[in-house]
Structure 1
């Protein structure tokens, strides 16, 4: 009799233990997508592009080089309460007038931040990252050339199919209106992005749309066509077109249309936002 009850208890314990293991694997499966990256990794695209304007005559003073360095650091190898992973982030974007006589840098924008990221699966097994971040962006200058703002941002990015990755991001802008009159109209309150794998492992296309607060004015659109010459390497030849406002902070009120060509290093996975 006691042996019977012992066997029943053992069976129930085994079922409970197995179900707990399955549940833990299910819970941490999405987290593995972050953990398989190195703790120090590429955040946004890192690129070096050169190009010219499409909406005005090309001169040595308006053709330029634009490059971006962006990385992130995961601070913990285990999720915090709620399944969130903490990150430090840094992005620096520079505009270099390399064709002008003295080759000056016309603008450098600095964008440090902190974030917590929650990986999970939507219905159908679609890997998704939910992110809350606090960020600062400025050009590091003073007086009338100072451009600076902060944001509290919320984003969702999801791999909706083997070829499509889409994202949406909104923020609460915190702007010094004295130094940056009307900046909120141009940076807006959110953006949407999408990446399509035209030929997986070789060709892809990106689009980033930022809506300004104006009804039809302001905002920006950036599109990229990327070609990977070698499947085993993580760099691409990129053709990028930008049209709109706030490509750089110093000229946020100027409408620009620039086409550029160069090299890009992308995040190994879909990136947190």
Structure 2
């Protein structure tokens, strides 16, 4: 009868192996490997997933190997080698700066494999852990952790046990009195607070900036904008249809800095509900990709009586994107609008038309140029052009962007949408260009 390895030795071996699978080895070209399963027996299939990060300064080309050579090592140092086969359809990828792509390989657990296995991808300084014990009888993945959470190293004597942490500190970390088994698939989720969930669901929407000009008297224009994701995907690498629904909010104000009381001329409150996906189609090498946004938006200046203004529309916005080799993206995104519930300001379409023609050129960590043109009836047109440069790349070494904006046309404010605003250039700071 085979002698069982003591639990203490197994845990000492398992701890560094489990941790190593979660650490990105930056020396290995930004590739992070992990085993999708924590338990599998001989003859069963396991998957090795990899995220390839581009942390260079330009577009990166990467080709995934068709096979990985795996080394299976047990606690006695016995080694078995086998192959994992690439499952991802296209092994070649062009990865934009600060982006990643995912790959997966399929492997079969070799016969004769038992106990806790250290799995090494040959040629990589990566070690993963897999429990090959029979399911239900495993001391590694099937047994709950009936143990206190200790203050590791606090005893000062390597031969003495570490003292337990205070119960309040353990509870604050999201740990229960008894830890779940590894293969239970839960245990860390409660540690995520409501604030973390809220923060992770918020992202940039339209530009956020504060800019000032001096034509017709000192004035400033500022805008705040964000969107909130309504559903968090169970699998972030493969979100479902409902994971692409958002609530958006944008607030834009024109501020008169010339008058004595420094009044706000008008403020636009612009909530929206929409569906958005950045890439519903991609070319073979991901150089070209098509995104789509569609939904409903409302805009109001929050006033009553004769000064009340509002606008409602449903829109669809296809986004045609092209990635350049030097690490920049060109986007053409016309927004087509159909106005609804426009009893209050039914003539809006005669001043702002039905299509916003939008063009944007954005370098990764560099120059951002964007423009919008709108043609309405009787020759009325509106133009807006913006330019931004990251302050990190200036002697100031600040967060944000140096931001300039040119505007000419109608509806700079809701209150005065029938009046044409003269050409105006403003400059200032943008958080999101």
TM-score range, shorter chain: 0.7 to 0.9
Q: Contact (CA 8 Å) 2:203, 2:226: kept in 1 or not?
A: yes
Q: State the SS of the aligned residue for 1:144.
A: helix
Contact 1:153 1:169 in 2 (8 A): yes
In the alignment, what sits opposite 2:264?
A: 105
RMSD: 3.3
State TM-score, norm by structure 1: 0.76
1:173 corresponds to 2:333: no
Instruction: Give the C-alpha shift of residue 265 in structure 1.
Output: 1.5
The equivalent of 1:123 in structure 2 is: 283
Residue 14 of structure 1 is matched in structure 2 by none
1:66 to 214, 221, 239: 221
CA–CA distance in structure 2, aligned partners of residues 208 and 91 of structure 1: 17
Report runs of 4+ in structure 1 exceeding 6 Å deviation: none
Structure 2 runs not aligned, ≥5 long: 1-43, 46-84, 102-198, 234-238
Give 2:183's aligned residue.
Answer: none
Deviations 1:42-66 (A, max 9, x none): 111100010133xxxx33xxx3110
The whole-number CA distance in structure 2 between the counterparts of 1:98 and 1:236 is: 23
**What does residue range 195-234 of structure 1 map to in structure 2 within 5 Å?**
195-197=360-362, 200-212=364-376, 214-215=377-378, 217-231=379-393
Find the counterpart in structure 2 of residue 114 from structure 1.
Answer: 273
Q: Secondary structure at the match of 1:153?
A: strand
Q: Secondary structure at the match of 2:349?
A: helix
Q: Distance in 1 between matches of 2:221 and 2:373?
A: 19
- SS of the residue corresponding to residue 116 of structure 1 reads strand
Greater percentage in helix? 1
Structure 1 position 142, deviation (Å): 1.1
> Where do 5+ consecutive residues of structure 1 fail to align?
1-9, 12-17, 268-273
Q: CA deviation at 1:184?
A: 1.5
**Is 2:419 aligned against 1:254?**
yes
> 1:236: how far off?
0.8
Distance in 2 between residues matched to 1:182 and 1:149, nearest whole Å: 10
Aligned residues: 237
More strand by share: 1
